[in-house]
Amino acid sequence: MELSNVKTILATDCGSTTTKAILIQKEGDEYRLKVRGEAPTTVEKPAEDVTRGVLNAVGEVEELTGRKLIADDRVLVVEDENEGADIYMSTSSAGGGLQMMVAGVVKTMTAESAQRAALGAGAIVMDVLASNDGRLPHQKIEAIRRLRPDMILLSGGVDGGTVSHVVELGELIGAADPRPRFGASFQLPVIYAGNKDVRPNIEQTLGEKTSLYVVDNIRPVLERENLGPARHEIHNLFMEHVMAQAPGYSKLMSWTAVPIMPTPAAVGAIIQTIAERERLDVIGVDVGGATTDIFSVFQKVFNRTVSANLGLSYSISNVLAEAGLADIIRWVPLPKAELDERALRDRIRNKMIRPTTIPQTLTELIIEQAIAREALRLAFVQHKGLAVGLKGIQQERTISDAFSQTMTGETLVNMLTLDMLVGSGGVLSHAPRRVQAAMMLIDGFRPEAVTFLAVDSIFMMPQLGVLSTVMPVAATQVFERDCLVRLGSCVAPIGNGKAGHACLRITADWPGRGHVEEEIGYGEMVLLPLGVGEKVVAKLDPVRPFDLGEGKGQAIETELEGGVVGVILDCRGRPLHLPEDETARVDALGRWLTALNVYPGYGEQRTA
Amino acid sequence: MVHAYTPGLKVVETALVRKQRRLPLAGEVLVKKGDKVKALDVVARTFLPGNVETVNVANKLGMPPEDIPKYMLLEKGAKVEEGQVIARMKQLFGLFTSKAASPVKGTVETVSDVTGQVIIREPPMAVSVTAYVDGEVVEVIGNEGVDVECVGTFVQGIFGIGGEAYGEMKTVASAARDVLGADDIGPECEGKVILGGSLATAAALKKAIEVGAVAVIAGGFHDRDLRSFLGFDLGVAITGHETLGVTLVVTEGFGEMPMAQATFELLTSREGMLASVNGATQIRAGVIRPEIIIPNPGKVVARVGSEEGDEANLEVGSRVRVIREPYFGKLGEVTSLPVELQVLDTEAKVRVLGVKFDDGGEDVIPRANVELIESGRD
C-alpha cells in the first residue's frame, strides 16, 4: 500500500518484561492514537515465542476497539476499511537488547567515536577496548571472552594512519576466539570501521575466525566523524544475527513492513525527528528499572548514552552506591536524625530484590523520588561526558577567541540553549502528581534560563520512533497530540546570591490574573498556573548577578508556555546548592514543596 | 493482563526437582540416562581453549615487525615450554644476541609481521560439572550435559551470595526469630549447612568460614554487613560467582527478619540430611533465585525446574507475605480482591487486595506489594 493511503497503523514494542501495542488511525488529515494494549513479553519459558506476547497485546487492542486485528494466529495486515491494519511495525529490547563491545586505537578518539556509533544504534556498550586503555593484552582478551557480546565494532586509525595498532586490536579479538551470546554455533559478527588501508590485514586476521563485515571508517579524518555506515550495519546485523536467534523473531520479522528496530534506537529516531522538524535543542530521558537512557540533540548533533546500571528497581542499589546515601537523603524533607540510615539502606536493597513493589506510604514515595533525582543527575553527568565535540583536532582561533577559548572535546550539552526536556519511564510518567515529575526533572537536570518540560504519557516513543522512519508526519502528529503530556515552562536564572535578596522580576499579562508584576527572592520557587496550550509573552528581568543568558542583570522578553503543571519560576540559583545546615535544608525543601504543592497534605503539615 | 503481584518463593516439602547441568562448551558426557548419581559426581567435562599471552618480539629484538619471521625459531602451531626462546637475532658477527622467550607453556598461535607480536596460547583448561544433587540422570543433552532429577525438599531464597555447596543440614537457631551470631558457630559446623533464624551477622559469616561450614541460611542480612563482607557495594543483584568460602541464602530480605515459620520448621525437620545449596541470584529478566534442595523420598506435591511446574493464582484465602513497608514481612490471608483501582496515601491509583494479618489487624494494600506463599506442605 502507498504510505500516503495508510489510515490504520499498528505498532508494538517488545520490552524485556512487557509488550506494548498501540493503534493509530487517521481522522481527517490527522493521525491520532486510538488505544493501547499490553501483555507480558514471551521470549522466555514457557512460551519462548515473542509473537505470543505480541498477539496478546494486540488482542487487548482488538477487544478495546472491536476491530479485528488478528487472523490465523498472526497480525492481520490487509487493505480494508473495517478490519486489520494497513501497516504493522515493531521495536524490541527483549532478551537484554543489543549488547556490544567496541574497540579503537585511542580511547578518547576512535574508541570514543565507536562508542557513540554503537550507542546511537541502540546498543548497550559492555566494554570499550583501546590500545591505550591501560590494560595488558591478556586482560583485554579475557574481557572479550567473559562478556560474550552480540557483536563487536572495531575501529581505529584515520584513513592512511596507524596500521600496527589496528592490526594488534584485530589480533587480540582473534586470539580471544569470541563466541556470541546467542547461537553458540554461529560466528561472532565483527564490524570493521577503521583505517581503510588496514582492511586486508583485518580480513586476514579475523576473516576466518569471525563473521566479518567491513564498512567505511567512522573517523576517516580526525576532524570528522562518519557514524552512519557503522550504525546502519549494526542495525542490519541486529536483525540478521541477534533477532534471528531470539525465539519467535523470525516469525515476527516476516509480519513487519519495516525492519524491527532496537527500542532505544527508535526512541532516538523520534527525538531526532522532533528536534529537526521544530529546530529545537532537546533532551529526552528514559529512566527504567535497570537502566537510564539519555538522548540529546544540540546544534543538530544527536547523542545517546545508556547508563546500564542506573535504574529504579533492579539497579536501585547501584544508584545508592554511586550517589551515596547523603546525596539521596538531601532531597528528603525530613531531618537526618528522623531517618534510620541502616533501615533506609535495607529498604533500598529490598526494592532491588523485589523490584515490582510500589510505594504505599508518602514517605516511601518521597524517598523513591529522591533516588530518581540522583539517578537522573548521575546519568546526565555520564551523558555530558560522552556528548562532546571531537577530541584531538586542531582548532583555528582568531583574536576574538582570546577571551573565550574552549578546549577540544567540550560537551555539546548547553543548558542555556535547551528548548525541551522530555521525561519517560515509570517514575516520571506514572508519578501520582505531574508536578512531581517536573520537580524530578528540574532537580536531576538543573535546566537554565527558559526550558519547556514534558513527559511521555504512556511510553509510546519507541513505536513512534520506528514509525518516524517511514511516516515522519504521522509520528510527529501523534507525538505532539497524544504522546506528550505538556508540563509547562521552567524559568531558572543562573548565578547565586544571598538569601532573601531579589533574584527575578517577572512582568506579563497573565490569563485569568490580569497584569502580573512579581519579584521572587533568591532561594524561592513559585508556580504560576497556565493551562495546556496557553502562552504568555513575559518580561523576565534577572537582578544582578543573576543571568538568563543575555548577561548579568539583562532582561529578556520571551514566550512562556503552560501545561498541566504551569509555569515554574525556580530562583534557587544555578549551580543549584541545597543548604548545608540541616534545619535550613529541611525548611527550604518544605517551602519549595509547599509552593508547588508537590505532595498531598505536605504543605499543610509543615506549615501548621 | 500483567500479574499485579509477585509470584512467591517456593517452599515445598516434597517436590520433583529437575536441574540442568550443562557445560559452557560442547564436551563429553560421562553418564547415561537412568544412572544414579551423587551430588559431587562429575557428569560432564570439556576443555576450554587456554589463555593467551602476547610477546612483542619486534620490541625485544629491536627490529621492524616485517623482519620477525626471519628470526623466529618456532613456527605457527609449534609447542613451546615456559622460558623457551622463540626468536633470536645475532648482531655484530655474533658478539651480541637478542632473544625473546615465551612466558608460558603452550602453542605458538600467531606470528604477526605487522605488529611484531607473537601470541602463545596456553594448554586447554579442563572444566567439569557435577550432578549437584543426589538423583537420577533423566536426560542427556547431546554432548553438552544432562538433566538430573531428584525427589526432595525444595526451598527458594530471595537473595544469596556464593555458588553451589553441599553438606549436612545443621540447625543452630532455636527459633525463627533468633539472630545468628559468631558465638553460635563452633567446630561442629565444619562441612555443614547452617540454619539460622532472623538474621545472619557478618561476624557469624566470618566464623562460618573459619570453621569450614559450607553454607549459611537465615531470614535476613544487613546491607551494611553485605558491603563489609563482599568488600564492595553490590550495585546489581547478580551473584553466585563470589569465592568467599561460604554460600549464603537469605529467605526473607534485607534487615532483621524472622524466617517464615513454615520454612524454618521444614528446614529444621531435615536435620542431618544432605543438602545442595546455591546462592546464585539474578534479578532481571530470567530470574534466578537461591535455593536449598534436600533429597528425601516422599509424596510429590509440586514440580520444580521442568515445564510442568505451574504458577498458583492469587485468590481470596491465599496465603501472602507483605514485601514492602509499612507492613514488610507480615504474613496473612487475602480477604478481598477488589476489581476497581483504589487510591493510596501517595495518590497513586492501583489494584489492591484486602489482607488479614496473622498477628491481628486488617488493611488494604497494593497487590504489587504481596508475595504469594507457594507452600506445598498440604
Tell me the pLDDT band of A462, cut-offs 50, 70 and 90. very high
* CA-based nearest distance A305→chain B, Å: 19
**Per-residue pLDDT at A95 exceeds 70:** no
Measured CA to CA, the distance from residue A19 to residue A42 in angstroms comes to 8
- Average pLDDT rounded to a whole number, residues A69-85: 92
Name the residue type at position A596.
Answer: L
Look at B371 and A354 and tell me if their CB atoms are within 8 Å: yes
User: Given this model, what pLDDT does residue A348 score?
Assistant: 92
Q: How far is A222 from chain B (nearest CA, A)?
A: 23
What is the distance in angstroms between the Cα of A450 and the nearest Cα belonging to chain B?
30
pLDDT at B2: 36
Query: Which domains are seen in chain B, by residue range?
Result: 52-121 (2.40.50), 158-289 (3.50.30), 319-375 (2.30.30)
Instruction: Report, as an integer, the average pLDDT of B93-116.
Output: 88
- Can you point out the beta strands (E) in B112-157? 117-121, 125-130, 135-141, 145-156
Q: Is A283 on the interface with B (CB under 8 A)?
A: no
Chain B partners within 8 Å of A40 (Cβ): 1-3
Q: Is the pLDDT of residue A602 over 70?
A: no
All residues of chain A having their beta carbon less than 8 Å from the beta carbon of residue B3 are 40
pLDDT recorded at residue A605 = 43
Residue B188 has which C-alpha cell?
561442629
Nearest CA in chain B to A354: B323
Q: Could you tell me the pLDDT band of residue A138, with boundaries at 50, 70 and 90?
A: confident
Confidence check: pLDDT of A185 > 80: no
pLDDT of A394 = 59
d(CA A206, CA A182): 20
Cell numbers 538474621 correspond to B199
Q: Does B226 touch chain A (CB under 8 A)?
A: yes
Of B2, B226, B325, the CB nearest to A38: B2
Per-residue pLDDT for A515 more than 60? yes
Round to whole Å and give the CA distance between B23 and A184: 12
* Exposed/middle/buried for residue A591 (C-beta within 10 Å: 0-12, 13-18, 19+): middle
Query: What is the SS3 assignment for B316-374?
Result: CCCEEEECCCCCCCCEEEEEECCCCCEECCCCCEECEEEEEECCCCEEEEEHHHEEECE
More confident of the two residues B267 and A291: B267
pLDDT digits (tens, 9 = 90+) for A155-179: 999 999 989 899 999 999 998 888 7
Rounded mean pLDDT of A188-215?
A: 94
Pure H helices in chain B: 57-61, 68-71, 202-211, 223-230, 261-268
Residue A603 has pLDDT above 60, yes or no: no
What's the mean pLDDT in B164-182?
96
Looking at mean pLDDT, say which of A16-20, A78-82, A192-196, B60-64 comes out highest: A192-196
Confidence of residue B279 (pLDDT cuts 50, 70, 90): very high
To the nearest whole Å, the CA of B366 is away from the closest chain A CA by 7
Contact A267, A290 (CB under 8 A): no
pLDDT of residue B308: 45
CA distance B217 to B170: 10
- The closest of B329, B172, B371 to A346, measured between CA atoms, is B329
Q: How far apart are CA A309 and CA A293, in angstroms?
A: 10
Chain B CB contacts of A350 below 8 Å = 253-255, 323-324, 328
Give the cell for residue B307.
Answer: 515445564
Q: Residue B218 is inside which H or E element, if any?
A: strand B215-221
Say how many C-beta atoms besides its own lie within 10 A of residue A423's C-beta: 27
Amino acid at B130: T
Nearest Cα of chain A lies from the Cα of B286 at a distance, in angstroms, of 7
Q: Is B246 exposed, middle or buried (0-12, 13-18, 19+ CB in 10 A)?
A: buried
Distance of CA A259 to the CA centre of its chain: 22
Q: What is the mean pLDDT of residues B20-32?
A: 89
pLDDT tens for each residue of A396-433: 555 544 444 455 578 899 999 999 999 998 899 889 99
Tell me whether residues B110 and A96 touch, CB distance under 8 A: no
- Give residue A582's pLDDT: 93
Name the DSSP class of A186: S
Between A337-341, A346-350, B252-256, the lowest mean confidence (pLDDT) is in A337-341
Q: With contacts defined as CB-CB under 8 Å, which chain A residues touch B51?
A: 138, 141-142
- Do β-strands B106-111 and B79-80 pair in parallel, antiparallel, or remain unpaired? antiparallel
**Interface predicted TM-score (ipTM):** 0.84
Q: How confident is the model at residue A203 (pLDDT cuts 50, 70, 90)?
A: very high
pLDDT above 90 coverage of chain A, percent:
64
Say if residue A436 is exposed, middle or buried (CB neighbours under 10 Å; 0-12, 13-18, 19+): buried
Test B324 with A359 for CB contact under 8 angstroms.
yes
Helix (H) or strand (E) segment spanning residue B10: strand B10-22
Window 77-136 of B, Cβ < 8 Å to A: 109-110, 112, 114-117, 119, 121
- B80: pLDDT strictly greater than 50: yes
Give counts: helices (H), strands (E), chain B.
Answer: 5, 33
Instruction: Chain B: give the shortest CA distance to residue A522, in Å.
Output: 30
User: Hey, CA dihedral for A454, A458, A463, A467, is it positive or negative?
Assistant: negative
8-state DSSP, A495: B
Complete DSSP assignment for A215-238: ---S-SBTTB---HHHHHHHHHHI
**Spatial contact of A475 and A464, defined as CB atoms under 8 Å apart:** yes
DSSP letter at A95 equals G
Which residues from chain A sit within 8 angstroms of residue B159, using beta carbons?
Answer: 353
Q: How many residues does chain A have?
A: 608
Give yes or no for B228 touching A (CB within 8 A).
no
- Provide the mean pLDDT of chain B: 89
Chain A residues 423-442 with a CB less than 8 Å from chain B = 430, 432-433
Chain A residues lying within 8 Å of B286, measured CB to CB: 44
How many Å lie between the alpha carbon of B188 and the closest alpha carbon of chain A? 32
CB A350 to CB B324 under 8 A? yes
Contact yes or no for B237 and A317 at CB 8 A: yes
* All cell numbers assigned to A488: 509547562
- Taking the CA of residue B52 and the nearest CA in chain A, the distance in Å comes to 6
Residues in chain A closer than 8 A to B112 (CB atoms): 167-168, 171
User: pLDDT of A347-389, one tens digit each?
Assistant: 999 998 888 889 999 999 999 999 999 999 999 999 998 888 8
Question: For residue A604, is pLDDT > 60?
Answer: no
Q: A159 phi and psi, to 5 degrees?
A: -60, 125
A185, A320, A357, A427: best mutation site toward chain B, by most B Cβ within 10 Å? A357
What three-state secondary structure class fits A381?
helix
Mutation target among A314, A346, A435 for the B interface, most CBs of B within 10 A: A346
Distance between CA atoms of A111 and A154, rounded to whole angstroms?
8
Give Cα separations from A233 to A377, B63, B114, B261 (angstroms): 33, 39, 27, 57
B287–A contact, CB cutoff 8 A: no
Question: For every residue of A280-324, which 3-state class applies, written as one string?
Answer: CCEEEEEECCCCEEEEEEECCEEEEEEECCCCCCCCHHHHHHHHC
A141 touches chain B (CB under 8 A): yes
pLDDT at A606: 40
- What does the pLDDT look like over B223-248, one tens digit per residue? 989 988 888 888 878 888 888 899 99
pLDDT, position B180 = 96
Those residues whose C-beta lies under 8 Å from the C-beta of residue A68, and which sit 6 or more positions away, are A62, A76, A82, A83, A84
Q: Is B195 helix (H, G, I), strand (E, B) or coil?
A: strand
CB within 8 Å of chain B, chain A residues 454-473: none
Q: How far apart are CA A290 and CA A99, in angstroms?
A: 14
Separation between Cα atoms, residue A478 and residue A301, nearest integer Å: 24
Q: What is d(CA B85, CA A525) in angstroms, rounded to the nearest whole number?
A: 74
B307 burial (CB, 10 Å; 0-12 / 13-18 / 19+) is: exposed
- CB within 8 A of A406, min separation 6: which ones? none
